[in-house]
């Protein structure tokens, strides 16, 4: 991808949204598509109409940008994201992030569904991501560096914004007693992990595991965005059985059932988080 490719997509979006200038971008993970109902003056843009945008293929994942206001704040949200396991290259997976940057957006909220590795976690917990592991994956920044976005060797020392993450944690706490924070480990999927992999990830320091978010966060950091991430713990990871998560064999339906149960709380949390950007 070249700068021009990202520019074409951002010009197309600018043209569609007119004078709206979104302050924050949100990537909506499983279940969070319900946020759509809460937009004022909603403009939807299908991914397939945006030059250069990949198109989402997983069932249950929509493929549209939502632009409008929530609680008076202009936002842009991805209803459906791109995953490496779908067959996209990492520059396709992260394409929208750089497009958001060209739209003038500096704040991004990444949300996802994840498996719990930390034994103190329960299904339905909301974990603010305070760091990430991606030992086993290629970097989305591999290849020619686009200097217009950022430096060749970007620091990942403070990937997730500490102050905003703390605020998000407090917001979760006011809605539910299920606030957690921890480290998100990225696995490429699409198969779930083996119990041995989960034990190994726990030793490495992971609290949760999932198949998204990490490439997006790296690209967002590269171009200087402020990042906050939150995982809905939809299941306990492979090999872990607890009172409330008895599934012996992981399935997508367990993940989507929990995401469905938590989605309204998750949505309220996200809406309150958005309010932090009011007048900002
Ligand atoms: N593993 C990987 N990705 C996931 C999981 C999991 O257990 N749950 C939701 N997304």
CA distance 179 to 4: 41
Cβ of 211 below 6 Å from ligand 1: yes
What digits encode the pLDDT tens for the residues 68-94?
999 899 999 999 999 999 999 999 999
Q: Quick one: pLDDT at residue 196?
A: 96
Q: Which has the closest alpha carbon to 48: 28, 36, 62?
A: 62
Residue 175's H or E segment, with its range, is: helix 162-175
SS3 percent helix, strand, coil of the chain, rounded to 5, is 35, 25, 40
CA distance 164 to 161: 6
CA-closest residue to ligand 1 atom 10: 114
Q: Tell me the pLDDT band of 157, cut-offs 50, 70 and 90.
A: very high
Q: How far is the CA of 164 from the centre of ligand 1 (A)?
A: 25
Handedness of CA 173, 29, 240, 195 (dihedral sign): negative
Helix or strand or coil: residue 86?
helix
DSSP H helices in 49-158: 90-93, 95-102
Q: Which has the closest alpha carbon to 12: 97, 71, 99, 93?
A: 99
Q: What is the mean pLDDT of residues 171-190?
A: 95
Cβ of 123 below 6 Å from ligand 1: no
What digits encode the pLDDT tens for the residues 3-39?
999 999 999 999 999 989 999 999 999 889 899 999 9
CA distance 232 to 172: 11
CA-closest residue to ligand 1 atom 9: 114
Q: Tell me the pLDDT band of 279, cut-offs 50, 70 and 90.
A: confident
Residue 140's H or E segment, with its range, is: none
Which of 92-96, 169-173, 174-178, 256-260 is predicted least confidently?
Answer: 256-260
- E-strand ranges in the chain read 24-28, 40-46, 64-70, 73-79, 107-116, 126-133, 179-186, 208-210, 226-236
Q: Quick one: pLDDT at residue 61?
A: 58
Cβ of 237 below 6 Å from ligand 1: yes
Q: Tell me the pLDDT band of 214, cut-offs 50, 70 and 90.
A: very high
What digits encode the pLDDT tens for the residues 185-208?
999 999 999 999 999 999 999 999
What digits encode the pLDDT tens for the residues 128-145?
999 999 988 999 999 999
Q: How far is the CA of 183 from the centre of ligand 1 (A)?
A: 14
DSSP 180-213: EEEEEEE---SSPPPHHHHHHHHHTT-SEEESSS
Q: How far is the CA of 19 from the centre of ligand 1 (A)?
A: 39
Cβ of 30 below 6 Å from ligand 1: no
Handedness of CA 7, 12, 15, 16 (dihedral sign): negative
């Amino acid at each position: 991808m070249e700068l021009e490719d990202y520019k074409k997509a951002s010009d197309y979006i600018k043209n569609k949204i007119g004078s709206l200038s979104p302050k924050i971008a949100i990537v909506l993970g499983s279940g969070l598509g319900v946020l759509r109902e809460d937009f004022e003056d909603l403009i939807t843009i299908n991914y397939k109409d945006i030059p250069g945008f990949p198109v989402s293929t997983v069932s249950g994942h929509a493929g549209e940008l939502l632009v409008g206001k929530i609680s008076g704040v202009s936002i842009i949200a991805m209803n459906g994201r791109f995953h490496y396991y779908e067959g996209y290259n990492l520059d396709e997976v992260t394409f929208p992030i750089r497009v958001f940057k060209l739209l003038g957006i500096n704040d991004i909220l990444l949300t996802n569904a994840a498996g719990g590795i930390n034994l103190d976690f329960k299904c339905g917990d909301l974990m603010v991501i305070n760091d990430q592991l991606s030992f086993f994956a290629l970097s989305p920044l591999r290849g020619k560096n686009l200097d217009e976005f950022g430096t060749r060797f970007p620091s990942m020392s403070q990937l997730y914004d500490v102050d905003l993450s703390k605020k998000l944690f407090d917001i979760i706490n006011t809605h539910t007693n299920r606030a957690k924070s921890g480290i998100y480990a990225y696995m490429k999927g699409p198969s779930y992990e083996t119990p041995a992999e989960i034990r190994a990830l726990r030793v490495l320091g992971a609290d949760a595991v999932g198949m998204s978010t990490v490439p997006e966060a790296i690209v967002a950091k590269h171009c200087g965005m402020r990042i906050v991430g939150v995982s809905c713990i939809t299941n306990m990871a492979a090999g872990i059985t607890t009172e409330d998560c008895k599934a012996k064999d992981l399935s997508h339906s367990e993940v989507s059932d929990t995401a469905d149960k938590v989605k309204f709380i998750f949505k309220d949390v996200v809406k309150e988080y958005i309010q932090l950007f009011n007048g900002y």
